Amino acid sequence: MIKKRAYLLLLFLILQSCTQTFNKAKLDSFFVALSKHDENMGSIAIAANGVVVYQNAIGYSQANDRVKTPATIKTKYRIGSISKMFTATMIFQLIDEGKLGFETPLASYFPQLPNAGKITIGEMLDHRSGLHNFTNDSLYTTYRAVPMSEAEMVAIFARQKPDFEPDAKAEYSNTNFVLLGYIIEKLTGKTYAEELKKRVTSKIGLTDTYYGTKANPAKNEAYSYNYPGQWTQMPETDMSIPGGAGAVVSTPTDLIKFINALFEGKLISRASLEMMKTMKDNYGMAMFTIPFDDKKGLGHTGGIDGFSSVLIYFPEDKLAVAYTSNGVRYSTNEVIMGALSIYFNRPFAIPEFKTITLTTADLDKYVGTYTSTQMPLKIRITKNNTFLFVQATGQTVFPLEAKGGNKFSFAGVTLQFEPTKKTFTLTQGGATYLFTKTD
């Protein structure tokens, strides 16, 4: 009897040592503060050892003068580029089945594209193809809300000059994964939506993940918003445009199930998973490193219209975390870093979220068109009454939030202006770019 009790006590201690205890009340308070101050709208899920330990949802899935629908943990969001992980998973499955190879040339499917004979499937997976990122093109905003066929999209890609020779370097390009989505359809004879259901969602029990269409509140799908003084609905990209690069809809709970299944070897072979995780010039194959403090996470981020999302898996801790947002003032990255700080019991003070109000005259010194020698984008700064707005080439207009000292931010991007020099420094993801006013 004594031995049995000792064994049970030992088992209890082992189980306790494998479970991370965290301040749930503080994490709840963090999300209450975000919601109370209209800093973010979205949903989070955290799973340890495959078991969900935290879920929350804040804000609204739909917010206008007549209807305000509170978000729930079942609300579905467009996940943008996290879709690439689903596309890559299906490509790896086809490789595991011997229907495709890493060295298969793009020309086998789309010979009309530039450098198609030299570009391989492997180079497309890790963004080394040199194919121009079509969403950076100035014409992108003219067609992104219009349904497009494969032939029409490929014709657009065929007209764009490559940015570099295949495998010369890595540079992120949505074009790669739109094409990989088409290749899945060509190899299977089924639509991307059908293959996603067959190969991933039905296989691991994802009930709220699918290829998106026009947002439908009746299906508990969220609209996206920006914040020029109040939550304002943003235009929708037609989901035929991003395709395999960004057309999937999901929930944080489904996303953590997906990434757990991926790392447990339930979707692709162990060899394929190792390929997916291998970093070259900071890119894996539809995956990259997302560090937190001394921990190394792997996953992807996503953004489309006003949606922003993050999915991370920490192998050493067997921890999965996903956050999906449909309204961003306090950046998604800051939300996820705050949540992880609380989960891992690291120092973190819940922000006070003070509002800085400027007059329309205060904003005049920032208005204008800016260019940079570091990236081929023009950025237009405009104003409307007491709000400043930013728009990059081919991108949506976003409101900027004043932070004081000539600093403004939106969705994880910071602009530090130097009005006397007619410049600003843009900071995003740890990288900085200098822009100079041209008019």
pLDDT tens, 1-45? 455 555 544 444 444 444 568 999 999 999 999 999 999 999 999
Query: Do the strands 431-437 and 368-371 form a parallel or antiparallel pair, or are they unpaired?
Result: antiparallel
Instruction: Give me the chain's average pLDDT, please.
Output: 93
The residue count of the chain comes to 439
Beta carbons within 10 angstroms of residue 264's beta carbon: 12
Specify whether 395 is located in the same domain as 269.
no
Cβ atoms of 204 and 258 within 8 Å: the answer is: yes
Q: What DSSP assignment string belongs to 65-98?
A: SS-EEE--TT-BEE-GGGHHHHHHHHHHHHHHTT
CATH code, domain with 403: 2.40.128.50
**Cα 70 to Cα 62, 104, 253, distances in angstroms:** 7, 47, 18
Q: Is the pLDDT of residue 413 over 90?
A: no
CATH code, domain with 119: 3.40.710.10
Specify whether 97 is located in the same domain as 240.
yes
Tens of pLDDT along 256-275? 999 999 999 999 999 999 99
pLDDT average, residue stretch 395-407:
87
**Cα 16 to Cα 101, 156, 315, 344, distances in angstroms:** 44, 56, 19, 15
Specify whether 425 is located in the same domain as 282.
no
* Helical (H) or strand (E) element with 178: helix 174-188
Tens of pLDDT along 315-324? 999 999 999 9
> Which residues lie below 8 Å from residue 62, measured CB to CB, with a gap of 6+?
68, 69, 217, 222, 223
What is the tally of structural domains in the chain?
A: 2
Specify whether 310 is located in the same domain as 409.
no
Is 257 part of a structural domain of the chain? yes
Cβ atoms of 104 and 116 within 8 Å: the answer is: no
Phi, psi for 190 (deg, rounded to 5): -120, 165
Specify whether 315 is located in the same domain as 263.
yes
Tens of pLDDT along 231-248? 999 999 999 999 999 999
Specify whether 155 is located in the same domain as 286.
yes
CA distance 266 to 201: 12
Quickly state the pLDDT bin for 383 (edges 50, 70, 90).
very high
pLDDT average, residue stretch 117-139:
95
pLDDT, residue 392, reads 86
Task: Return contacts of 73-76, CB within 8 angstroms, 24+ apart.
Answer: 73/43, 73/45, 73/251, 73/252, 73/253, 74/208, 74/220, 74/251, 75/43, 75/220, 75/221, 75/222, 75/251, 76/208, 76/219, 76/220, 76/221, 76/222, 76/249, 76/250, 76/251
Is 352 part of a structural domain of the chain? no
Tens of pLDDT along 58-95? 999 999 888 899 999 999 999 999 999 999 999 999 99
| Domain extent for 216 | 77-343
pLDDT average, residue stretch 118-138:
96
Cβ atoms of 188 and 195 within 8 Å: the answer is: yes
Percent of the chain past pLDDT 70, that is, above it, reads 95
Report field, pTM of the whole predicted structure over 0.85: yes
pLDDT average, residue stretch 394-419:
87
Task: Calculate ∠ Cα 360-362-367, nearest 5°.
Answer: 80
pLDDT, residue 219, reads 96
Higher-pLDDT residue of 99, 427: 99
